[in-house]
Amino acid sequence: MKLQKDFSNLDGLLNRIGVPFQPFVPPEIKKALVGPGIIVTPDEIVVARNGTLEYQGQKVILYIRDVMGHLPKYHVVDCRTLKTMRAAGRYKRYVVTRRTDGEFILNFADNLSRENPETHRLDICKNCLWHELNLRNVYDPDKFPLPDWFNAIDPGYQPPPIDTVYGPRTTPVIGPVSNYPPDWNLRSFQCRKEAEWKCEECSMDLKLDRKFLHTHHLRGTRYNQPEDLRALCIGCHAEQPRHQMKDLPDYLEFMDKYGHTWKQLTNK
């Protein structure tokens, strides 16, 4: 009996039973994506429904490798910058990668003297960060957490298996243990955004001072699903059991700016 070669219905079946389809990716492609990256043409990049970028079934980010003076930005979604570049026929200059250390291999075409002409730290494209993801007040362009991003958009994401790519990894022996998931920053942002940037305890509106709105774990830091999280102002957060926050500079600043209003709202 011959095994059928048409598996066109498999993807839909897996979706119906809640199992994401994971296409086979050759090991050499995976290795290149977390290392030097791969030069691509426009037709090799797939834009997913949510705007994220894919190459051979792998979520990727894009950047320009050839540099003339100014350093390029990297892109995490199909922003208007990429659309403009495609329309101008310049999209073929891009490289895809899954590096998450923020360092990118560049080919410097000028004669500028640089200590390390091979790699350089790049910032995320502001059109991606501000206009597509609407994260203007959450992350600075030079501090976008790429590991969190890949964990949030790619269920099959795994950190590179070799230390030589990014340097030594943190372990319980050489670094502190944390129960927070790798994509905690994005989960926290989503929780506070769902609350419309208001404290879910006292209802104080902190849209203009978002650093004072925290994400509180209802059952401890091991539980990080949306139902386990609650948006609380730092005032209400500090009142939770075993939360020692009242000596923190942010707490003192919050009380200086909003203490009177907070006490009225909470009857303190």
Alpha-carbon span 227 to 247, nearest angstrom: 29
Torsion of CA 45, 42, 92, 73, to 10 degrees: -50
Task: Give 130's DSSP letter.
Answer: I
**pLDDT at position 194:** 92
Span 26-65, pLDDT tens digits:
788 888 888 788 988 888 999 988 889 999 888 999 998 8
Identify the CA nearest to 145 among candidates 178, 182, 175, 188: 182
When mean pLDDT is compared across 114-128, 148-162, 218-232, the lowest value belongs to 148-162
Contact 256, 263 (CB under 8 A): no
Alpha-carbon span 196 to 201, nearest angstrom: 13
Where does residue 89 fall: left (phi above 0), alpha (psi -120 to 50 degrees), or beta otherwise?
Answer: left
- C-alpha angle 139-143-146 in degrees, rounded to nearest 5: 95
Contact 193, 135 (CB under 8 A): no
Residue 10 has, within 13 A of its CA and on its CB side, a CA count of 9
| Statement: residue 168 has pLDDT above 80 | no
When mean pLDDT is compared across 61-75, 101-115, 130-144, the lowest value belongs to 101-115
Model pTM?
A: 0.53
* Residue that has been written with the tokens 């609407």 in this structure: 134
